[in-house]
Amino acid sequence: MRKVKYIMILALAVIAADASAQNGQAMYFMNIPQNHLLNPALRPSNSLYIGLPVVSGINLNINNNFVNFSDVFIKGQPKDSIISFLHPGYNVDKFLAKIKDKNSMEPEVAIQLLGVGFSVGKDGYVFLDINDRIDGNIVLPGDLFRLALKGNEGFVGNKIDLSSLRGDIKYYREVGVGFSKNFTDKLRIGIKGKLLFGIADASIDNNALGIIVNSDYSHTFDANLAVNISGPVNVYMDSKHNIDSVVFDNNRFKTSNGITDFLSGKKNMGLGMDIGATYDLTDRIVLSASLTDLGFIRWNKDVTNLKANNHFEFSGLNMLDYFNGTKTLDEIGNNMLDSLKNAFVVSKTKTSFTTYLPFGISLGGSYNVTKQISVGLLSYSRVIEKQFREALTLSANINLGNALSTSLSYTAENYQYDNLGAGLAFRAGIAQFYLVSDRIPISWNKISDKNTNIILPANWNTFNLRLGMNLVFGNKSKEKSDRPMVFVE
């Protein structure tokens, strides 16, 4: 039971630090090669850069739109202790007041496997990127939290609409080749094409899902949804078409050929594109815009489709049994899984499916105070199916060629208005080191009991960290331009 408790606390802690509109805004106005990932028209001042596997780029985005650490963990009794949302003394109503109708979580991880960029001709720039990426987006209806944490009584006789429930997490590799060039003295355009190789995916296609709470507190489900999986898992059904078990296929990884085949993603192909531009409005004002991560993946390998279109009874979704001490978390979890397994009649097929990437829209502008100092304003929006995330970042930037580049930023997004960020890049010989964070925790809490002593951020639901090292050569800039955003030969 103790193990399950800490797993659930950890899960909520991860949720409380999960990612939506964040995408490394602080580095947008910095002189580092990676800023072309946000706008392919941007380029560094060096004439050649080489990014080594893993070393050159690690990007982590984590956030959500409804709770932070201070909602999941609060001060208990004695006052120097911290209790979690699962503690009987926790004010559940206060926690639920933070819950929205649609509660989203969007974790992202990207690791650069290879990066190359070099000057071509007078002002052209060619770049190649190979990145491994994990993207997730999950939407949980607010009534799902209320039903689990407050019990059935307030919902008796009502139908709860869970059609907004959504989930998709994918692991894929992108291979992109791009080019940017000044088409006029004021306008620079960049474009990047991508081949996408899907490695694994699990997604929910929810056409309809509703719950009616009956007078005996059982639940009646009306479901019309599908779970699509591409990955090394086997789903076994019983004679009644209930899910009997889901087993990870270890045999796939017993040989090097099996591992290589899985990680290649060559049978799950897709296409993507980035496009961007910058425009010198005046000698001091530069405007920019970009559209990134437009793309899709067609999943053909190791496909399993679980489709449910039926009406069934369900019990076990009630955390009050835990709060009043009549059941342990293990018992509640097992009852819920057994109830779902026995009631959820599904059909199993192996039909290819398509998923689309969340895409980003950037609109930026900078004012060059001097050749080295600028202030910037950046709007970054992320579109995920029908949902729209927005972040607005104000930054002060210093760029001394590629010897030193810094940025200090303030971001308003995700219902938080204390998002401070910073970026630093410096060159030592041919090595350029950089570290960028868009959300630096200011206040911290300590979680303590007899066996645990953990320091965690107090108010934190958004985080972005990007770090790495590039090999850079040359440092030529266009003398007549003061702009810090776009560096050209």
Q: What is the pLDDT of residue 37?
A: 92
DSSP strands (E only) in 85-165: 102-105, 108-120, 124-141, 159-161
Residue 482 covered by a domain: no
Nearest-CA neighbor of 293 among 220, 376, 359, 204?
A: 359
Residue 489 covered by a domain: no
Q: What are the Cα distances from residue 81, in Å, to 2, 74, 138? A: 18, 8, 32
Nearest-CA neighbor of 47 among 28, 34, 33, 37?
A: 33
Dig out the tokens for 314 from the structure: 């369900």
Beta bridge partners of 116: 50, 128
Beta bridge partners of 125: 119, 180
Residue 478 covered by a domain: no
Q: What is the pLDDT of residue 25?
A: 75
Residue 486 covered by a domain: no
Q: What are the Cα distances from residue 423, in Å, to 46, 264, 306, 387? A: 19, 34, 45, 29
Buried b (16+ CB within 10 A) or exposed e, 45-64: bbbebbbeeeebbebbbbbb
Task: Please give the Cα distance from 85 to 94 (Å, whole number).
Answer: 10
Q: What is the pLDDT of residue 459?
A: 63
Residue owning tokens 């204390």: 418
Q: What is the pLDDT of residue 159?
A: 81
Task: Please give the Cα distance from 104 to 387 (Å, whole number).
Answer: 9
Number of domains forming the structure of the chain = 1
Residue 180 covered by a domain: yes
462 CB-near residues (< 8 Å, 6+ apart): 17, 19, 20, 22, 62, 63, 413, 414, 416, 419, 438, 439
Q: What is the pLDDT of residue 252?
A: 76
Pick out the chain residues at pLDDT < 70.
1-24, 69-89, 217, 312-345, 414-418, 441-462, 476-489
pLDDT in tens, 7-34: 334 444 444 433 334 456 778 899 999 9
Distance between the two ends of the chain, CA-based, in angstroms?
Answer: 63
The alpha-helical segments, DSSP class H, found in 113-219 are: 142-150
The alpha-helical segments, DSSP class H, found in 16-67 are: none
Task: Please give the Cα distance from 322 to 377 (Å, whole number).
Answer: 48
Q: What is the pLDDT of residue 290?
A: 97
In degrees, rounded to 5, the angle at the alpha carbon of residue 295 between the alpha carbons of residues 50 and 30 is 40
Q: What is the pLDDT of residue 14?
A: 41
Q: How many distinct helices (H) and strands (E) make up the chain?
A: 7, 27
What DSSP letter does each residue of 349-384 carry, written as one string? E---EEEE--EEEEEEEEEESSSSEEEEEEEEEEEE
Q: What is the pLDDT of residue 449?
A: 56
Contacts by 421-426 with C-beta closer than 8 Å and gap 24+?
421/25, 421/26, 421/393, 421/395, 421/464, 422/26, 423/26, 423/27, 423/30, 425/30, 425/31, 425/32
Q: What is the pLDDT of residue 20?
A: 38
Nearest-CA neighbor of 5 among 107, 92, 88, 96?
A: 88
Radius of gyration of the chain (CA): 25
Dig out the tokens for 13 from the structure: 């802690």
pTM of the model: 0.81
List the domain range (segments joined by +) for residue 115: 2-473
Q: What is the pLDDT of residue 260?
A: 82
Task: Kindly report the CATH number assigned to the domain that includes residue 246.
Answer: 2.40.160
Neighbours of 321 (CB within 10 A): 16
Task: Please give the Cα distance from 460 to 454 (Å, whole number).
Answer: 15
Nearest-CA neighbor of 360 among 30, 126, 14, 24?
A: 24
Task: Please give the Cα distance from 276 to 195 (Å, whole number).
Answer: 18
Residue 449 covered by a domain: yes
Residue 481 covered by a domain: no
Dig out the tokens for 324 from the structure: 């009043």
Phi, psi angles (nearest 5°) of residue 64: -150, 175
pLDDT in tens, 77-132: 655 566 666 666 677 777 788 788 888 888 889 999 999 999 998 899 999 999 99
Residue 124 covered by a domain: yes
